[in-house]
Amino acid sequence: MGMYRSLILVLMSSLLALSGCVDGSVDQGRTVAFDKAKREVTFIRDTSPVQGKPDYNHLPPVTYKIPDDPAEMGPEPRPGGRMKLDMEKNEVVIFDPELRNFVHVPFRLLDKQEKIAKDHPLVKDKKFPIIDGTKRTVTMYSSRQKTLVTIEVSDTDIHRPEYAWIAGDEVRVYYREPGKALRLMNITQTDIFKK
């Protein structure tokens, strides 16, 4: 386990102890579903031991009831199907909710812009993904990788729903009972622990 991740877990354990949740545990992953009516969040666990290099590959997805106290929850998590934008293999790994499994979508890279921060004019105030069904292209922005790409996919894959190309928010939950969050942090939207 990386030193940074160990430090995070120690900090979270301290927060739990301060709140009286001494025997609490931590879970973390990328959101694939959020049901406000049922008060449930579902995510794919991050199994990577290396901080900053997540690996969302744990199946089946895990579901937690969100905290009863609204003060124990940050911004509502946005779900999405994109688990990984793999520039080495030229594929997008997508969680398909109907199959309840991962799908590896090959692509042809058309354009790649690197070192693009969130406030860069190419991405600031723009909504991604941008899907062009006629050209069979998808333009996606990865804030973690600071990369803006336009890819071409197959006739079949271009008809996937927009959800498939969205990287869901990363969340961290603190719990004592499995499946019931005492506290939920939206890491993506708060960026509290990001460099």
Which phi and psi angles does 52 have, rounded to 5°? 85, -10
| CATH architecture of structural domain 3-78+168-190 | Beta Barrel (2.40)
- 43-73 pLDDT, tens per residue? 999 999 888 788 999 999 999 999 999 899 9
Instruction: Locate the domains of the chain by residue range.
Output: 3-78+168-190, 101-165
pLDDT at 192: 44
**How far apart are the C-alpha atoms of 96 and 103, rounded to whole Å?**
7
Residue 41, strand partner residues: 34, 64
**How far apart are the C-alpha atoms of 194 and 3, rounded to whole Å?**
14
- Please say whether the dihedral angle defined by the alpha carbons of residues 13, 26, 33 and 158, taken in this order, is positive or negative: positive
Residue 79: cis peptide before it, omega within 30 degrees of 0? no
pLDDT at 191: 62
pLDDT at 20: 45
pTM: 0.83
Amino acid at 132: D
- The low-confidence residues of the chain, meaning pLDDT below 50, are 1-10, 13-14, 16-21, 192-195
